[in-house]
Amino acid sequence: MGTWDVGPFDSDRAADWCGDLDDAAAAQRPALVEAALTAVLAEPDYLESDLAVEAIAAAAIIAAHRPGGPVIESPYAPNFLLKGERMALDHRLDGLALRALDRVVADNSEWRELWEETSYYDQALDEVAAIRSVLNGSGPGRG
C-alpha cells in the first residue's frame, strides 16, 4: 500500500500528488485540488486507492484553509504550504470535498478495503472524520 501512517499525506501516492501540487504554478493549484476531488466522484464503480488518497490530501488542504482547520505540518505535504503560503480555495469546494470523502469511505472503495484489513482502520476513519468536521463547519473553534 506504500502507506506509513494514517494521516492525509502519509502514503507514497499522496506525497507524490503533493509534490505535483507543489511544482504547479500557484494559479493552477486550486484546479488541481478540485480535479483530485472530481476524479473520485466521477468513478461510478470500484474506486482505486490512488484516487482516494489524492482526494483525502486535497480535502485536508481545503480544511487547513478554513477557520478552525488543522495546521499542516507533515513533511510530505506541499512545501509551499509548509512555508506558510496559502491558496485561494472557493468555499464551494467544501461540499465537493465532503462528497468525495463520502465516496472514499463507502463500499466499493479500495482505500476502505485496504484499511479494513489493518488494525488502524478506525484511526484512518478518524482522520477522515476530522477533515469532514472542519468542512462541515463544526471543527475546532467553530462549535
Residue 141 lies in a domain: no
Residue 2 lies in a domain: no
Spatial CB neighbours of 114, under 8 Å, sequence gap ≥ 6: 1, 3, 49
Q: What are phi and psi of 17, to 5 degrees?
A: -60, -40
pLDDT at 115: 97
Residue 122 lies in a domain: yes
Here the cell at position 111 is: 482505500
pLDDT at 141: 41
Q: Give me the residues paired with residue 109 across strands.
A: 47
Give the DSSP H/E element, type plus range, for residue 66. Answer: none
Angle ∠(92,125,45) on CA atoms, nearest 5: 70
In order along its 143 residues, the chain shows pLDDT tens digits of 489 999 999 999 999 999 999 999 999 999 999 999 999 999 999 999 999 999 999 999 999 999 989 999 999 999 999 999 999 999 999 999 999 999 999 999 999 999 999 999 999 999 999 999 999 986 554 33
Domain housing 73: 12-135
Residue 77 lies in a domain: yes
Angle ∠(82,140,3) on CA atoms, nearest 5: 50
Taking the model in full, what pTM does it have? 0.94
pLDDT at 138: 62
pLDDT at 2: 87
With cell 484546479, the residue in question is 31
What is the number of other CB atoms lying within 10 angstroms of the CB of residue 124? 23
Residue 140 lies in a domain: no
pLDDT at 139: 54
Domain count across the chain: 1
